[in-house]
Chain A
Amino acid sequence: MAMTTRCSDSVVLNLWHPLGALAELPVDTVVDTVLLEERLSLAVGPDGTVAVWRSCAEFAAGDKIDAASVCNSLPAKVAYGYLWASLGCPPDELFPIPEYDETDRRRLNAATFGVNVSAPRAIENFLDMGHFPYVHTDILGVEPHTEVKEYDVDISVERDEILATRCRFFQPLASSASQTGAEVEYIYRVPHPYCSVLYKSSPVDGARYDVIAVFMQPLSQETVRAHMMLCILDEDNEDKVIKRFQQTIFGQDKPILENQFPKRLPLDPRAETPIRADKSAIAYRRWLNRKGVKYGVIPAPN
């Protein structure tokens, strides 16, 4: 990770970025991580106080520390079970996920995986239903149900996020709580350049949706830590069974993501064939372009 490639993209510097799942962080202990090629350290207090700072020789990973006593810390907050931080001037609020406050849901980090891919490529893959039958065979799709049916994509102006609705797909095993195959309805949101929130009809309550989010922590332009947040309706399965389901799916995506070429997402509308770049992908690329995101993408020529 050469110094010269360090992030100078002010749009990305000013975002909130996820650093880790709170449930997995040791209390009052220095933990090291990387964000946008900067080495950061973080600590969580027993009362939920958090601190994030640029790593320094004074505090090494594993040292005991009182999170509340850290000065010179970066903007940091807790949301959706994760610690978030920013290297710039972030907005007050992170994007909303109201379902996270519904108390009958299981809320957990399915896993945090290191992936050799740019954050935008990973988000774009998350939006694509076309790969279900081929990559997640017998789980999220199965031949001959390969057609991606017509759906709607909007860019919500007041919320500044992408919204894909009326997405439907036949799934043999939509979730850890599924008993049979079913036509599943999806809603995708992209409320942050490197995060996406997916709603899919719940197999246990036809009126509600399971919520699955992917929060990408960009380590560099071409590597991420992918955090997978689950907020789902499932009263029967143990946490580890729910995690296993999601990890199985992500493990299938991983080689696909890591074999994307080029690793950065090209924003030039002519860069890739329209088959790969379907409707929501096109909207996502345009949205990134309009925002002026440069990090993790190949910017369109103006």
Chain B
Amino acid sequence: MKARPVAIVGTGQTRHRKARPDVHQGEMVQEAVNLALLDADLSWDDIDAIVLTNMELFEGRALPDLWCSEFAGGLGKPVMKVATGGTSGTSGAIAGLLQAASGLFDTVLVVGWEKHSEGSTQTGMSLTDPAWDRHIAAGAIGNFALSISQYVAERGVTGEQAAMVAVKARRNGALNPNAHVKDAGITVEKVLASPMLAEPVHLLDMCPQSDGAAALIVVGGDKTRRYKNPAWFRGSATRHDQPYIGDHDKRMVMMRTLRSAAQEVYRKVGIGDPFKEIDIAEIYEPVSYAELAWYEALGFCAEGDAGKLIESGATQIGGDLPVNPSGGVLCSNPVGATGVIRVAEAARQLHLKAGDYQVDGARRALVSGYGVYTWSDVLFFSAERP
């Protein structure tokens, strides 16, 4: 079956913050949905189907799809929830894009959210395999640090190079009104002077935990005609891998889910040199060091050259391949929404609506999602109709 061309024509995001005590989850969802409808100049009646993404373990409220659908405008419509860990948002976006591409629906709404302030993130992260993992659960930061120690040993990247990623993110975030963490004056020295959480990861190397929601409007068929700068969906790939973190040899160095998903997308859309042929990337970097490792997995540079790539400035706004001009995950991380935000930010660049962090000449955008090492999503969008 040949899929038909579809595009993202509207996006909406809340102001992502440490806490949004003024709204409950559903109200936060509604905020993002209203903004996306406004952006696409559509109304509730125009939506044919809805995809939700959320990881309810962080809020401890079962069936978020049941009680939040109403706030997404779900009454009388097909609604489903997608959850694949950190990748939930990108997986939900892929589901919505493919629903429209299949011709089943003309207009699909994708909305993701998380309200980390309502629960304990560590508790959520600890709800792993009770027979094995839970006894030794030490939180996400320690696990990141273990993988990072292998990546550092293998590639020789330095704390300064990682700190440059954190600096780039927070300076970009200062340009984005929706970003949770912003710091226009941050320096490498400030990152390295921030408290050590788990060697070599400093506090400012890590992503925050945010409250926030993000929504996308996907349209297909004749519905695409009225839009001036649609973000055309060109291809995607998803990869799953074995569940225990010790199953993966040098997991951050190898990152075989992301590597393999990227290769499939590049093959599908005919990209030979990602660094030259992609104009902007919004990737899921939970920690500064991961962005360096993902540069290699995504083929933005040769293996082992990620440190040089960040030093070159090429991934800053104004560089050859700006990575996370929105500030990325290091600035905003409402997990169930984080992947949706990546897609929304890539689409905003192609819509030419990214405001102060608009990348000049953005026509081809890459997105990646990260669900620990066991899930990766890669999506590619262009200003050019397929």
The finding on whether chains A and B are genuine partners in a shared complex, rather than unrelated, reads no
Residues of chain A having any CB pair with chain B under 8 Å = none
